[in-house]
Amino acid sequence: MRWYNPKSRSVEDTLVAFTDEEATKRLGGHLSSEAFLTVYDRLPAEGMAIEQALLFVGHHFRLRHLEYRPSR
């Protein structure tokens, strides 16, 4: 899958996560992981598939990261 990784702040090609454990592992280990996981945890609980939830989390934080970019 191609997604925006909020930990590295870059677009990456990676294998699809098939379990919640794999997905949370991808989002963990960063200072902002609690925020990433808070958004992620709510999505599968609402019926969203794991892959779609990761894509959504990446998109959500990509937009937030763009908001806080310094102007040139």
3-state secondary structure the chain: CEEEECCCCEEEECCCCCCHHHHHHHHCCCCCHHHHHHHHHHHHHCCCCHHHHHHHHHHHHHHHHHHCCCCC
Q: Could you tell me if residue 57 is inside a domain?
A: yes
Q: Could you tell me if residue 9 is inside a domain?
A: yes
Tally of CA atoms within 13 A in the half-sphere of 27 that contains its CB: 27
Tokens 């937009």, located at residue: 63
Domain that holds residue 43: 2-67
Q: Could you tell me if residue 61 is inside a domain?
A: yes
Q: Could you tell me if residue 47 is inside a domain?
A: yes
The whole-model pTM stands at 0.85
Q: Could you tell me if residue 72 is inside a domain?
A: no
- Cα 11 to chain centroid distance, Å, stands at 11
**What's the structural domain count of the chain?**
1
Q: Could you tell me if residue 16 is inside a domain?
A: yes
pLDDT in tens, 5-60: 999 999 999 999 999 999 999 999 999 999 999 999 999 999 999 999 999 999 99
Q: Could you tell me if residue 54 is inside a domain?
A: yes
